[in-house]
Amino acid sequence: MTKLYLTRHGETEWNLQKKMQGWHNSPLTQLGEKQAKWLGDRLAEVELETIYTSTSGRTQRTAELIRGNRNIDLIPKDNLREINLGDWEGEFVENIKKQENEAFRKFWEEPHNYRKETGETFYQLKDRVVPLIKQIISDHNPNSNILVVTHAAVLKVLMAHFENRPIEKLWDPPFMYQTCLNLVEINENGYKVLLHGDTSHYQE
């Protein structure tokens, strides 16, 4: 069976500053780099065939640190980027709450009703990431171990897909902490989620 390992990038400067990132980027913090190395240690004995990453700098750096000195292909994919947040990109969360409180509330509490003139809906995000993951799975031989390094909303959409949950339940626990590990087994009978939001590799 194929094993799909999925994770989020390490902590970034904008995570600390409570800014929305989306397609915009900010560098990993020192802790973010440590988080990536911790996950690299955890996966050291897993024979990863390929690592896929979004084209955002924070995910590519995380993937490099997880890979370490191992000779594993790192393949960036645009469709693994975070949800496009339009004019919220780079804005402080507190400012968005004040200026567009209802849209912000729907983003977190009613994701199925979230709409903006700029950026993507969660349905549009699902339409670009789920087909890509299906293609990645089909492109590899059974029994492959594949790592995907991406973003929080992307992971929530993918795990909802694997668990057959609707978009309205997108933000159900667990929370997707930085470099948390999700593990899904894929065989002819479908998907089996073995890990979901696991952070047991954190060392501090």
CATH number at residue 106: 3.40.50.1240
- The β-bridge partners of 5 are 147, 183
Amino acid at the residue 173: P
202 inside domain: no
Whole-model pTM: value is 0.96
Known catalytic membership, residue 112: no
Domain coverage including residue 27:
2-186
| Domain count of the fold of the chain | 1
Give pLDDT tens digits along the chain (204 positions).
Answer: 899 999 999 999 999 999 999 999 999 999 999 999 999 999 999 999 999 999 999 999 999 999 999 999 999 999 999 999 999 999 999 999 999 999 999 999 999 999 998 999 999 999 999 999 999 999 998 899 999 999 999 999 999 999 999 999 999 999 999 999 999 999 988 999 999 999 999 998
Residue 201 lies in a domain: no
Confirm whether residue 13 is marked as ligand binding. yes
Residue 204 lies in a domain: no
171 is in an annotated binding site: no
CA distance linking residue 101 with residue 24, whole number of Å = 22
Please measure the distance between the N-terminal and C-terminal CA atoms of the chain and give it in whole angstroms. 33
How far from 48 is each of 44, 51, 74, 83, 147, CA to CA, in Å? 9, 7, 11, 26, 7
Contacts of 152 (CB under 8 A, 6+ apart): 8, 82, 176
Pick the catalytic residue: 9, 89, 120, 151? 9
Radius of gyration of the chain (CA): 16
Give yes or no: 196 in active site.
no
